[in-house]
Amino acid sequence: MTDKTKNSDRPAAGGTADSAATGEERVLAGTQDRETIIGRAVEEAVLHGIFRGRTVTRRGFIRQLGLAGAMAVIADIFPINAAKALANDPPKDLEKTALKIGFIPINCATPIIMAHPMGFYEKHGLKGTEVVKGAGWAMIRDWAVSKQIDCAHMLAPMPLALTTGVGSSTTPFVIPALENLNGQAIVLHKKHKDLTEASQLKGMTLCIPFEFSIHNLLLRYYLAEGGVDPDKDVKLRVVNPAEMVANLKAENVDGFIGPEPFNQRAVFEDAGFIFKLTHDIWPDHPCCAFACSREFVTQMPNTFQAAFQAIVDATVFATDHKNRKDIAKAIAPRNYLNQPVEVIEQVLTGDFPDGLGNMRHIPDRISFHPFPWNSMAVWILTQMKRWGYLQGDVDYRKIADEVFLSAECKNIMEQEGYPAPTGSPYARHVIMGKEFDPANPQQYLDSFPIRRG
């Protein structure tokens, strides 16, 4: 899509608009004034820099002077307009500007999708870049491998599977940036509303979106911690998210672990309830990523850099809760997610009904953060090994370093004035109260009583 005015001309969806995304709300607050957004981001970054993250002082300062006043004071001591101009300067010598970027219509892809209507690709010189909707993960993978698309929204385990040649031909892929943390949930049919424990899921039929997904790995982990063997005690079916909700409604399945907005959609359709947010299994777990082939990185280094910058920029923009409502409006239309704005807002703001009659307020229900921790890759690989997807000896660190480009991401974050994690990209993570040490993956694997490999 090149003509934005056409996009906003579209009238509201008629008919059963109650269950369909309406077009009217696609007037994009963000698109109208891209420079204001960038300007605001730079100002924020400068404020951050000056107060070094001491939020209280910063907020107090702004409260007293008002944002405009505060900026005027700071402009005296910091060349803020120069910084704005610098951030607005698109990269040069791009091998290609009109990229095709594939996505699956789910909230995980929020930064990749919104970067189109909100102008992040254009800002970084990628004029004419389009986001193309795929119907399923296998399709996105095939598009990416056969180069029908330049970059893709993938589940974080997918590039690891592609690079190691599990479940497909071996094609080296990289993850320059993660998209979202959290933002998934286990949803059960309303008839199971009294259940609270993993052990009670024994004998159920549950859907997963893809084998090489964080969903599959987290569900298996959760079940196994509750003493349920995911290969023997439950039936796991690979099903597209939309079909998950339809199947739940028809009571063909007992539940699913799915991406948003389909978990919330199940509540909206009065079919199920949110049994467990993945946020409560592993707080700030990785989910989806921005991915491209290593070949793309080497053949088009400047274009890759520009796309990388655009994604980091958009992902950090999505981190801020005050932008979330605008983002919901931008990505709800038929061209993108094709979902009711209301549902998307419930997901992005973290204020949502859980299907059991409670309104919940969990701001971190979904978060966006670009930094790809290498330790997360190691965790994913240990679980792929645990459930028998990966066979033989695995050089965890080597694969993690090859696929998760954390050093490069750190550079870009700093370059764009965003705070980046300092120190090693190998961190310890705590999943359901159990610590994972990336330095000892084999020891970690051996500690699980239920495992295949």
Under the rule (CB under 8 A), what is the footprint of another protein? Answer: 1, 3, 6-7, 10-11, 13-16, 19-21, 23, 105, 130-135, 139, 142-143, 145-146, 148, 240-242, 245-246, 249, 265, 269, 333-336, 338-339
- DSSP letter for 404, please: B
Question: CB of residue 218 vs another protein: minimum separation in angstroms?
Answer: 23
- DSSP letter for 392, please: S
What are the structure tokens assigned to 116, written together? 């189109």
- C-beta of 337 vs 384, nearer to another protein: 337
- C-beta of 16 vs 422, nearer to another protein: 16
22 vs 14: CA distance, rounded Å: 8
Question: CB of residue 20 vs another protein: minimum separation in angstroms?
Answer: 5
- C-beta of 135 vs 356, nearer to another protein: 135
CA atoms within 13 A on the CB side of 40: 12
- DSSP letter for 423, please: S
- C-beta of 224 vs 288, nearer to another protein: 288
- C-beta of 15 vs 392, nearer to another protein: 15
Q: 9 φ, ψ to 5°? A: -70, -20
Q: Distances from the Cα of 379 to the Cαs of 205, 225, 326, 338, 435, in angstroms?
A: 26, 16, 34, 33, 11
- C-beta of 270 vs 320, nearer to another protein: 270
Beta bridge partners of 103: 133
- C-beta of 335 vs 367, nearer to another protein: 335
Question: CB of residue 194 vs another protein: minimum separation in angstroms?
Answer: 25
Question: CB of residue 12 vs another protein: minimum separation in angstroms?
Answer: 9
Q: Distances from the Cα of 189 to the Cαs of 193, 217, 268, in angstroms?
A: 7, 21, 13
Beta bridge partners of 100: 130
- C-beta of 18 vs 435, nearer to another protein: 18
In SS3 terms, 232-269 reads as: CCCEEEECCHHHHHHHHHCCCCCEEEEECCHHHHHHHC
82 vs 382: CA distance, rounded Å: 47
Question: CB of residue 130 vs another protein: minimum separation in angstroms?
Answer: 5
- C-beta of 230 vs 258, nearer to another protein: 258
Question: CB of residue 321 vs another protein: minimum separation in angstroms?
Answer: 26
Question: CB of residue 16 vs another protein: minimum separation in angstroms?
Answer: 4
What are the structure tokens assigned to 315, written together? 């992902």
Question: CB of residue 440 vs another protein: minimum separation in angstroms?
Answer: 40
Question: CB of residue 135 vs another protein: minimum separation in angstroms?
Answer: 5
129 vs 19: CA distance, rounded Å: 30
Given a contact cutoff of 8 angstroms between Cβ atoms, the answer to whether 158 and 175 are in contact is no
Question: CB of residue 368 vs another protein: minimum separation in angstroms?
Answer: 22
DSSP E strand stretches across 157-298 = 173-178, 180-182, 184-189, 205-208, 235-238, 255-259, 272-277, 288-293
69 vs 142: CA distance, rounded Å: 52
- C-beta of 269 vs 437, nearer to another protein: 269
Q: Distances from the Cα of 339 to the Cαs of 21, 111, 199, 402, in angstroms?
A: 5, 16, 34, 36
